[in-house]
Amino acid sequence: MTVLAVAQRRAGTAFQRQGALAVLAVVVLIAFGAFPNFRSLDNAATILVAAAPPMLIALGMTFVIITGGIDLSVGSLYVLGGVLAAWASQYGFVAAIAVPLAVCGAIGLLNGALIAYTGMAPFIVTLAALLGARGLMRAVSDEGSTTYIVQNDAFHTLGTGSLLGIGNQVWLVAIIVLLGMVVLSRTRFGNSVYAVGGSEDAAALMGVAVRRTRIGVYVLSGLLAGLAGTINAAKLGSGVTVLGAGMELDAIAAVVIGGTLLTGGAGTIAGTVAGVLLLGVIQNLINQVGDLNSNWQQVISGAFLALVVVAQTYLVRLRRT
Amino acid sequence: MTTLALTTPRRADRLPKYGVYIAIAALVVYNAAFTPYFLTVSNLRIQLIQVAPIIIVALGMALVIGTEGIDLSVGAVMALAAALIPLYLGYGVIAAVLVSLLAGVAVGLINGALVAKVGLQPIVATLALFVGGRGLAVVISDGQLRDIRNADLIYLGSGDLLGIPVLVWTAALAILVVAFTVRRTVFGRRLLAIGGNRPAAELAGLPVQRVLITVYVLCAVLAAIAGLLSVGRIQSSDASSIGLLIELSAITAVVVGGTPLTGGRVRVLGTVAGAVLMQLVIATMIKNNLPPSTTEMVQAAIILVAVYAARERKTR
């Protein structure tokens, strides 16, 4: 292999891993020059606070996708978690967090157990969970007619307060993302996640607990989606029952833009963070351009997604040859 | 090589194969006995009109799933087709219909090229247009809901032919065409062969890329047809609501009907039955005053039971 080919291959790997970060840097630099309002600290804080719930959902999705799975139920679990948190807040701070996590974690467990033990496709199992969790949310909220108001001041402060000028939620999410990085790259569970996604048979031969790993990632995904809904309820002060949140596909888009392969076995949390922030920055910029229809945001996000995944595919191919 | 996809179903396939029809029969009997006004002509009309667009979209989805693919963009295609109608209705209904069908062809070509030529996973390839397509449709229509007063288009969506809604005739025609395509044409056999074992199909010299692109074009065109018929049915074009979440209904109909997500097999009548079953469940729940929450949980249970019964045991 020539020096040039090696260099080319390394560049390909680097772009696939850090491409979203590079694109994010370029977009932010351009925005700094072109939009005076983008430069303020307030605006940066706004972007980060808005990105907090999607970041948690995408973090869980990253684990799932690295195992070669997919979780379509997270949008419903996000809404369900928010409603449950607002409802449970009347019983105190701990209940407001524990109830949504328990229920969403249990649904994640059900997803994982069905996928691991019956061999049914993750796509279908979590599609059913999408419907079931939405039904549960409707049942809890009297068919969507009751909006629970958060009744615990400490819980409400978790969502609205700030520390050193940065929202509490951003700190919380930052800590969880760092924990996620450590778990994925430094623990036995993290290794198992990569091993199962790389080759299930090989992982089983190596003695990896394949089923337990599969169940683990769906529990994690359910918990994080529930937590995302919980902190959103804390911020808004109520459980919002907006239907068809569609956040599962946004999360998948962010994870894929961040360089995680849907075929499993490869991906990083840093990439996912960059992917979520990139989508957030695009949305923020479109809000800044006053005369741009906000629907352009979807169009541009879709185009970005197509561009990034096509580039990734070619780079992966380059690396393999 | 095509025999690979035409191996006879094993005995374990029987329950999932007939389960959906048994469930439909049971629901019909239950409703006939206990639900007032269920077996009236007007009620049957309403049910058929509501399920027809889902059937049309699900047929295209079944073809895509037969190639071991998936198409998340069908709802966005419906919205795009619907958004284009009012813009071109001034040139006549034929021009408007042609433009919205062309939009379907264009989306299908993009999806197909991303899957077949670039080699993207179908879920990612079609996710891009799922994310961007509806936005584009809303941008095209300027976020406005447009009333449609064209008599021809309204006839297509809500008129009758021989006492049966045109919408139902269209769905029936689509079922016949798709069933014929899958069972009797070379294209259909190639489609199943690719879904059954793509590397083998490639080695056998089948035009894999061309077949895949055609499949995605067919799926998108069927979605576009459903979109323009929906415009005629509700007599307005609203890009932000037409076809919303229909991709999930269509995928549900396909898998409940016994088509495996792993490709290589397409159950056309099963897909129709899957859509009808889900529609019947909703109708039964509504007519018995059960809330949407229960309906959704029952739907979730039906999906799980159907797919559990039909799941392919690992042979390797």
Tokens 């996640």 belong to A193
pLDDT category at A280 given cuts 50, 70, 90 is confident
Dihedral sign from CA coordinates of B15, B21, B27, B30: negative
Residue range B79-93: average pLDDT? Answer: 86
Instruction: State how far residue B279 is from chain A, nearest Cα, in angstroms.
Output: 15
Supply B100's token pair: 């919205």
pLDDT band at B247 (very low <50, low <70, confident <90, very high): confident
The more confidently predicted of residues A194 and B155 is: A194
Q: What value does the mean pLDDT take over residues A101-121?
A: 93
Whole-angstrom distance, CA of residue A287 vs CA of residue A35 = 11
**DSSP-assigned letters across all residues of B101-148:** HHHHHHHHHHHHHIIIII---HHHHHHHHHHHHHHHHHHHTTT--EE-
Q: Which of B135, B297, B313 minimises the CB distance to A299?
A: B135
What chain A holds in terms of domains, given with CATH numbers, is 16-320 (1.10.3470)
Q: Write the pLDDT tens digit of every residue in A152-161.
A: 888 888 888 8
Q: Which has more confidence, A282 or A104?
A: A104
Rounded to 5°, the CA angle B289-B290-B292 comes to 120
Q: Which of A287-296, B224-233, B301-310 has the highest mean pLDDT?
A: B224-233
Identify the residue with better confidence: B314 or A40. A40
Weakest mean pLDDT among A73-77, B206-210, B287-291: B287-291
Contact indicator for B193, B206 with CB cutoff of 8 Å: yes
Tokens 């025999």 — which residue? B3
**Does the pLDDT value for residue B65 go beyond 90?**
yes
- Tell me whether residues A296 and B118 touch, CB distance under 8 A: no
For tokens 């895509």, name the residue. Answer: B64
Cα of B165 to nearest chain A Cα, Å: 30
Closest CA to B274 of B295, B294, B259: B259
User: Residue B2 — very low, low, confident or very high, per pLDDT cuts 50/70/90?
Assistant: very low
Cβ contact, residue pair A123, B70, below 8 Å:
yes
pLDDT above 50 (res A12): yes
Q: Which two tokens stand for residue A78?
A: 């996000």
CB contact under 8 A, B293 and A139: yes
Interface-testing mutation among A127, A248, A261, with chain B (most B C-beta atoms within 10 A): A127
What is residue A99's predicted lDDT score, i.e. its pLDDT?
Answer: 95
How many beta-carbon pairs under 8 angstroms link A with B? Answer: 143
Tell me what pLDDT residue B5 has.
Answer: 47
Task: Quote the pTM value.
Answer: 0.85
Region B1-25: what's the mean pLDDT?
62
> Tell me, what's the ipTM?
0.80
Q: Which residues of B touch A314 (CB under 8 A)?
A: 118
Q: Does position A294 have pLDDT exceeding 70, yes or no?
A: no
CA dist B293 → A135, A136, B282 (Å):
4, 6, 11
Per-residue H/E/C for B11-51: HHHHHHHHHHHHHHHHHHHHHHHHCCCCCCHHHHHHHHHHH
Closest by Cα among A181, A145, A230, A186 to A62? A181
Residue B28 half-sphere exposure toward CB, CA atoms < 13 A: 13
State the Rg of chain A over Cα.
20
**pLDDT confidence band for B6 (50 / 70 / 90):** very low
Nearest residue of B to residue A132 by CA position? B297
Rounded to a whole number of angstroms, the distance from the CA of B118 to the nearest CA of chain A is 7
With CA atoms as reference, the chain A residue closest to B239 would be A295
User: Using the 8-state DSSP alphabet, how is residue B312 labeled?
Assistant: P
> Do the beta carbons of residue A58 and residue A272 sit within 8 Å?
yes
Cβ contact (<8 Å) for A143 and B301?
Answer: no
pLDDT band at A184 (very low <50, low <70, confident <90, very high): very high
Q: Mark yes or no for CB contact A143/B291 under 8 Å.
A: yes
| A32: exposed, middle or buried (Cβ count in 10 Å: 0-12, 13-18, 19+) | exposed
Q: By the 8 A CB rule, do A238 and A75 touch?
A: no
> What mean pLDDT do residues B91-106 have?
90
For CA atoms B235, B238, B239, B245, give the dihedral sign.
Answer: negative
Residue B66 near residue B259, CB atoms below 8 Å: yes
- Residue B133: list chain A partners with CB under 8 A: 302
Taking CB atoms and an 8 Å cutoff, what residues of chain B touch A297?
135
Give the span between the Cα atoms of A85 and A93, in whole angstroms. Answer: 9
A304 against B66, higher pLDDT: B66
Q: What pLDDT is recorded for position B3? A: 45
pLDDT tens-digit map of B107-128: 999 999 999 988 888 888 898 8
How far is it, in rounded angstroms, from Cα B251 to Cα B256? 8
d(CA A251, CA A298): 14
- Mean pLDDT, residues B142-152: 77
Smallest Cβ distance to A309: which of B124, B293, B296? B124
Q: In the 8-state DSSP scheme, what is residue B8? A: P
| Mean pLDDT in residue range A255-263 | 83
* pLDDT bracket for residue A43 (50, 70, 90): confident
Residues of A in contact with B313 (CB under 8 A): 119
% chain A with pLDDT above 70: 89
Residues of chain B contacting A69 with CB distance shorter than 8 Å: none
Are B223 and B243 in contact, with CB atoms under 8 Å apart? yes
What pLDDT, on the 0 to 100 scale, is given for residue A291?
A: 61
Torsion over CA of A209, A185, A74 and B308, rounded to 10 degrees?
A: -20
A205 has a pLDDT exceeding 60: yes
The Cα A262–Cα A66 span in angstroms is 7
The one-letter code for the residue type at A50 is A
Average pLDDT of the residues in A206-226: 92
